Structure 1
């Protein structure tokens, strides 16, 4: 299977090429440069591998949640290429991608959290089972103090920038349940590509026009009143 993957939902921009089990990736923490770099990186990966776009079997995309602009960019790029090539699209949760990249020697229960700004975090809880990730709860956007683990017993590991948000409030609140926390972890297209390849082989790819971004919330900025209320609560 040959698959091209885009993940641009956070400050990290990454593109990966999956070639029958081998993965090649371009990755960088490049805020505000995603639109400039994503497509050229994809073209570089294809050229280096000697693969034409027409040889791709599918396109994969991190569907969010994350930064609105980044999520929209990844969806637009992936849909555009998939539609042009008449190939299926494999959407994967960015939180799932983040969780799948967690330390293999850590606990099998993983809380992935991305800084959502405006005093909130995007969170998703997962458990590793037989080499696959199972979602333990729905994805949510919440204030750090409102986050609850869906399974209270047992050890967990936490990954993602949500653990550094609000002066590390989420990490502090869940310190008793977390064996390890990596607040610098970011989702990577290489991980996305492997997840998408498995999903594609399981028949989970969909027509490109059916894929929609996962924003989890509609408002992109606080009103002045909301900003004042948030500052007053701190």
Structure 2
């Protein structure tokens, strides 16, 4: 059976499109990327046509469409989800939402059993964080902690919180562009016991394609109308009425050290 997975990733400033084709044990990957956060809507569909043409694949041959679900830039998430839904409706194919932080973990050198924490810059002095463990026997990711928004300064406390919740956790590897966005924080993490600093990557469409293929083959595709972005941060400021009631600070990052 020949499978063609179209993947879209626009949760960051990079607009990425990939086509991952698999027949038997052979896979081929075709990728296009464009830098420019305000240009996603302009470049996404032309890049889709480019990878399909390069691969010699017709639109109706697409098996499923995977997209970076977020969290990430609001506009980018809506572009990827909207284009995915439009194409999927037209082609009658399923959709595979891929968490953007999981896409970062997928691109790492896989160490079975090790806890992988992904921390991405969420702006406003905040981070998107999640934790995963790669299961070597099944070659799948176990989500240990779903995507969460936290203040950047409490990341060390959140990591210590994880340690208290897990038995024999071993080394925690922390990866993601937060290590670049907050260099002082990265320096502090480097001095913490059992914390290893990993890659500084952002979500990439190649990882979205591979995760999408795996999910599709496992029967995890969904109908186009069920696809939705995962914003995580859904509120950036209190209303006037809420401020008059004494609420202040950031309304979104709810996790605090005990």
Aligned to 1:33, what secondary structure does the other structure show? helix
In the TM superposition, structure 1's runs of 4+ consecutive aligned residues that sit over 6 Å from their partners are: 221-225
Gaps of 5+ in 2: 251-258
Q: Is the contact made by 1:107 and 1:156 (CA closer than 8 Å) also made in structure 2?
A: no
The residue that corresponds to 1:133 in the other structure is: 141
Aligned to 2:146, what secondary structure does the other structure show? coil
Question: Aligned-pair RMSD on alpha carbons?
Answer: 2.4
Q: Deviations over 1:89-135 (max 9, x none)?
A: 00010010011111347983211111111111111111111222111
1:160 aligns with 2:166: no
The residue that corresponds to 2:150 in the other structure is: 142
Q: Deviations over 1:141-200 (max 9, x none)?
A: 1102223132464222222222233x33542343223323323x1111111111111111
In the aligned structure 2, how far is the partner of 1:81 from the partner of 1:70? 17
In the aligned structure 2, how far is the partner of 1:51 from the partner of 1:161? 34
The residue that corresponds to 2:233 in the other structure is: 217
Q: TM-score, normalised by structure 2?
A: 0.80
The residue that corresponds to 1:8 in the other structure is: 10
The residue that corresponds to 1:119 in the other structure is: 125
The residue that corresponds to 1:67 in the other structure is: 73
Gaps of 5+ in 1: none
Which is higher, the Rg of structure 1 or of structure 2?
2
Q: TM-score, normalised by structure 1?
A: 0.87
In the aligned structure 2, how far is the partner of 1:180 from the partner of 1:201? 33
Q: Is the contact made by 2:112 and 2:133 (CA closer than 8 Å) also made in structure 1?
A: no
Aligned to 1:63, what secondary structure does the other structure show? strand
Aligned to 1:32, what secondary structure does the other structure show? helix
Q: Is the contact made by 2:69 and 2:77 (CA closer than 8 Å) also made in structure 1?
A: yes
Aligned to 1:219, what secondary structure does the other structure show? coil
Aligned to 1:139, what secondary structure does the other structure show? strand
Specify whether residues 55 and 40 from structure 1 end up closer, same or farther in structure 2 by C-alpha distance, changes over 3 A only: same
The residue that corresponds to 2:197 in the other structure is: 180
Number of residues of Structure 1 aligned to a counterpart in Structure 2? 226
The residue that corresponds to 1:201 in the other structure is: 217
Q: Is the contact made by 2:69 and 2:228 (CA closer than 8 Å) also made in structure 1?
A: yes
